[in-house]
Every structure is written in structure tokens, then in C-alpha cells.
Amino acid sequence: MRDDLKPGNTFPDIELPNHDKETVTLSSLVRGFPTVLVFSRGYF
């Protein structure tokens, strides 16, 4: 894991397509509320 990913630091504002193929930023989802961000192994 990258060195700056530790408690107290700001998580990068990642940008990815969602389940509807719309590109969204993490900040647009957080919108000022506590957020649980889960990296899943997925199902492939």
C-alpha cells in the first residue's frame, strides 16, 4: 500500500466509472458524510 495511505491523511479523490458506466469522483459520492470505502476482490 502506498505510504501516504494512513490515518490522518486525505484519501485521494479517485475517479472511476460506476455500475451505470457514469464516471464519478469519490468526493461526489462522499458529499460531506462519513464513508466506508471497500476494495473488493470482485467476482470476475
Partner 1 sequence: MTNYVEHLQPELIVNYCKLVIVSVDSPMLSKDIKDGLGATFPFLSDEDKKVITELEIVDTTDKYHPVAIPYTFVLDRDRTIYKIYNGWWYVGRPTVEELRMDLRALMSRRQDWWYDKTPPPYAQKSDELTFHMER
- Return all residues near 25 (Cβ < 8 A) that are at least 6 apart: 13, 14, 15
Task: Give the chain's end-to-end CA distance (angstroms, integer).
Answer: 23
Half-sphere exposure for 10 (CA within 13 Å, toward CB): 6
The one-letter amino acid code at 28 reads S
Per-residue x/- track, 19-38, partner 1 (CB under 8 A): xxx--x-xx-xxxxxxxxxx
State the minimum distance, in angstroms, from the CB of residue 13 to partner 1. Answer: 7
Binding residues for partner 1, how many (CB under 8 A)? Answer: 37
Q: Shortest gap between Cβ of 25 and partner 1 (angstroms)? A: 10
| Chain residues in the site for partner 1 (CB under 8 A) | 1-2, 5-14, 16-21, 24, 26-27, 29-44
